[in-house]
């Protein structure tokens, strides 16, 4: 199912009138909905890329977070907040329920260098979200897995997001480029209001 969502809160000169701000495809992955879409006009990829790279060498305190070595802490920034809010709006528009409250419980970035990958894992919250900031040719794919079923593969594209149930196991295949593959990830917890 394909949807064009107009999620503008007000006039913004960076948007082209009559163009939707979000395009999404809702796909069944093992009979589980996975949303793949693109955001348009609400941020600058270069600003977000630079913000992530500025924090590349910062590491999490392992006592406070169960994390993987490629996770990069992501301090607050208007571009990050804008993406999180747009993704919340996408979920509200699809769900159609104003009583679904969404809280961002954690956000981080992945910076993959050549030959890096991410092992199979899941997230503890209601939704996991990945947003692609830099995707050079040869970037690793996002792969969802369930026992006794064929994997569901999502090739990354710059400016694309993927929303999935947090319990759905996934991994990222090996990165085959000398240029960095950069993605922003976050968890959203649903609270019924």
Say what the pLDDT of residue 27 is. 76
Say what the pLDDT of residue 39 is. 83
Structure-derived torsion over alpha carbons of residues 157, 109, 192, 121, reported in degrees to the nearest 10? 80
Q: Give mean pLDDT in consecutive 10-residue pieces for the chain, a chain of 193 residues.
A: 44 42 75 85 78 81 53 87 91 79 91 92 90 96 92 94 94 96 94 75
Pairwise CA distance, residues 150 & 168, whole Å: 14
Place of tokens 């919250």: 125
Question: Which domains does the chain show, CATH number per domain?
Answer: 2-7+20-192 (2.60.120.620)
pLDDT digits (tens, 9 = 90+) for 87-119: 999 998 887 776 778 999 999 999 999 999 999
Say what the pLDDT of residue 152 is. 93
Pairwise CA distance, residues 110 & 105, whole Å: 17
């Amino acid at each position: 199912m394909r949807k064009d969502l107009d999620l503008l809160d007000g006039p913004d000169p960076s948007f082209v009138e009559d163009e939707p701000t979000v395009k999404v495809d809702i796909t069944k992955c093992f009979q589980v909905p996975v949303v793949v879409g693109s955001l348009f006009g609400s941020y600058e990829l270069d600003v977000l890329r630079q913000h992530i790279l500025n924090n590349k060498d910062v590491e999490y305190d392992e006592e406070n977070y169960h994390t993987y070595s490629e996770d990069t802490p992501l301090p607050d920034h208007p571009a990050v907040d804008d993406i999180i809010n747009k993704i919340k709006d996408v979920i509200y528009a699809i769900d159609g329920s104003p009583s679904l409250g969404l809280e961002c419980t954690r956000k981080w970035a992945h910076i993959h260098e050549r030959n890096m990958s991410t092992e199979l894992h899941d997230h503890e919250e209601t939704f996991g979200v990945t947003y692609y900031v830099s995707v050079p040719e040869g970037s690793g794919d996002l792969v969802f897995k369930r026992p006794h079923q064929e994997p569901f593969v999502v090739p990354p594209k710059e400016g694309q997001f993927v929303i999935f149930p947090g319990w759905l196991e996934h991994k990222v295949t090996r990165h085959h480029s000398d240029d960095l593959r950069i993605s922003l990830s976050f968890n959203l917890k649903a609270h019924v209001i």
